[in-house]
């Protein structure tokens, strides 16, 4: 169940209907498992959001409450439900979030040893922003360069030797 705070309820309802996603909108924050709000509302730190965070409710922050932003968030957040897994999809999609992160870190560590052993650059598989940040951190700790390339959802990290 989702509580939309500072986002037009009719807009989010339209997006849910268009994408045919099983989202239950609730009228009260206390009933919600997930909060979704805009950056401007979140930055004011209203008591509703502070209480939700204190109680451990997940809070998602959108830049703006536009239909495009809401659509993008719903597609990304409910990707597994709207796109059933097909044979060609990567095996990362079948893993839970923690497992996916662990696999991505192992992949980055392998890439780092390949670059240290002499390869010029190694391109990793596409990952969500949080995981890419972890991969960049690993590269930096090993004194290697890294950059994200591509567009969501195919954005990925390239690890390379530092430029001199």
Q: pTM for the whole thing?
A: 0.49
Q: Could you report the per-residue pLDDT of 84-132, keeping only the tens digit for each? A: 444 344 444 444 555 677 888 899 999 999 999 999 999 999 998 888 9
In a domain, 90, yes or no: no
**Same domain, yes or no: 42 and 67:** yes
- Between 129 and 147, the more confident residue is 147
- C-alpha to C-alpha distance for 124 and 6, rounded to whole angstroms: 37
- C-alpha to C-alpha distance for 15 and 109, rounded to whole angstroms: 40
Give me the pLDDT at residue 131, please: 86
In a domain, 89, yes or no: no
Q: What is the DSSP letter of 74?
A: H
**Same domain, yes or no: 8 and 76:** yes
- The domain boundary residue, chosen from 21, 48, 82: 82
- C-alpha to C-alpha distance for 32 and 52, rounded to whole angstroms: 9
Q: How far is CA 9 from CA 37, 65, 79, in A?
A: 11, 10, 21
Does residue 78 register a pLDDT over 50?
A: yes
Domain containing 61 equals: 2-82
Give me the pLDDT at residue 156, please: 94
- C-alpha to C-alpha distance for 156 and 90, rounded to whole angstroms: 14
- C-alpha to C-alpha distance for 60 and 66, rounded to whole angstroms: 15
In a domain, 87, yes or no: no
In a domain, 88, yes or no: no
Q: Which residues contact 34 (CB under 8 A, 6 or more apart)?
A: 1, 2, 3, 57, 58, 59, 60
43-47 mean pLDDT:
88
Which has the closest alpha carbon to 124: 142, 136, 141? 136
Q: What is the DSSP letter of 6?
A: S
Give me the pLDDT at residue 80, please: 46
């Amino acid at each position: 169940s989702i509580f939309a705070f500072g986002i037009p309820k009719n807009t989010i309802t339209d997006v849910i209907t268009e994408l045919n996603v099983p989202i239950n909108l609730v009228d009260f924050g206390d009933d919600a498992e997930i909060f979704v709000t805009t950056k401007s509302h979140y930055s004011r730190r209203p008591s509703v959001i502070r209480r939700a965070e204190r109680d451990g409710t997940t809070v998602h922050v959108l830049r703006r409450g536009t239909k495009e932003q809401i659509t993008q968030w719903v597609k990304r957040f409910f990707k597994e439900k709207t796109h059933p897994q097909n044979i060609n999809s990567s095996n990362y999609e079948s893993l839970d979030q923690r497992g996916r992160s662990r696999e991505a870190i192992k992949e980055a560590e392998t890439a780092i040893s390949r670059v240290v052993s002499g390869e010029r650059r190694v391109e990793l598989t596409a990952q969500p922003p949080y995981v890419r940040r972890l991969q960049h951190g690993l590269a930096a700790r090993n004194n290697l360069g890294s950059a994200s390339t591509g567009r969501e959802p195919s954005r990925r990290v390239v690890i390379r030797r530092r430029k001199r």
